[in-house]
């Protein structure tokens, strides 16, 4: 779904339904329109649609580095609870 302001797309959220789980796969708001509640509104709209579809649990992942701090704040405002996870990678 998209967020529009004065006929311009300023943000979007994409999610997938997987049985009783809904997963937000991408959320983005144009930098010029951040900190206006757009991400929160998109999250809530997606969560409402998930709930209407019978989803029991919503999940989302984002990075832990500073560049993803705005995303973490948006998800926390939407009511998500962060879990302490570690993902290991090894280049071959």
42: domain CATH number is 3.40.630.30
Residue 3 pLDDT > 90 = yes
Convert the pLDDT of each residue in 65-82 to its tens digit: 898 898 899 999 999 999
**Residue 16 in contact with residue 25, Cβ under 8 Å?**
yes
Domain for residue 89, yes or no? no
Q: How many domains does the chain have?
A: 1
Convert the pLDDT of each residue in 22-45 to its tens digit: 999 999 999 999 999 999 999 999
Of residues 70 and 10, more confidence is placed in 10
Domain for residue 90, yes or no? no
Hey, what are 31's tokens?
Answer: 């930098």
Helices 38-52/69-77 angle, 10° precision: 50
For residue 61, what are the domain limits?
2-77
Task: Give the pLDDT band of residue 85 (cuts 50, 70, 90).
Answer: confident
Hey, what are 67's tokens?
Answer: 């560049």
- pLDDT value, residue 86: 82
Give the start-end residues of each E strand in the chain: 2-5, 8-18, 21-29, 57-60
Domain for residue 28, yes or no? yes
**Whole-number average pLDDT of the chain:** 93
What global pTM score does this model have?
A: 0.85
Domain for residue 43, yes or no? yes
DSSP 8-state code for residue 54? T
């Amino acid at each position: 779904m998209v967020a529009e302001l004065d006929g311009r797309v300023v943000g979007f959220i994409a999610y997938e339904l997987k049985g009783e789980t809904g997963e937000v796969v991408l959320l983005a708001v144009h930098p010029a329109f951040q900190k206006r509640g757009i991400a929160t509104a998109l999250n809530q709209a997606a969560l409402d649609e998930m709930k209407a579809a019978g989803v029991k649990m919503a999940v989302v992942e984002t990075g832990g580095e500073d560049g993803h701090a705005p995303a973490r704040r948006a998800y926390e405002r939407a009511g998500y609870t962060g879990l302490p996870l570690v993902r290991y990678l090894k280049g071959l």
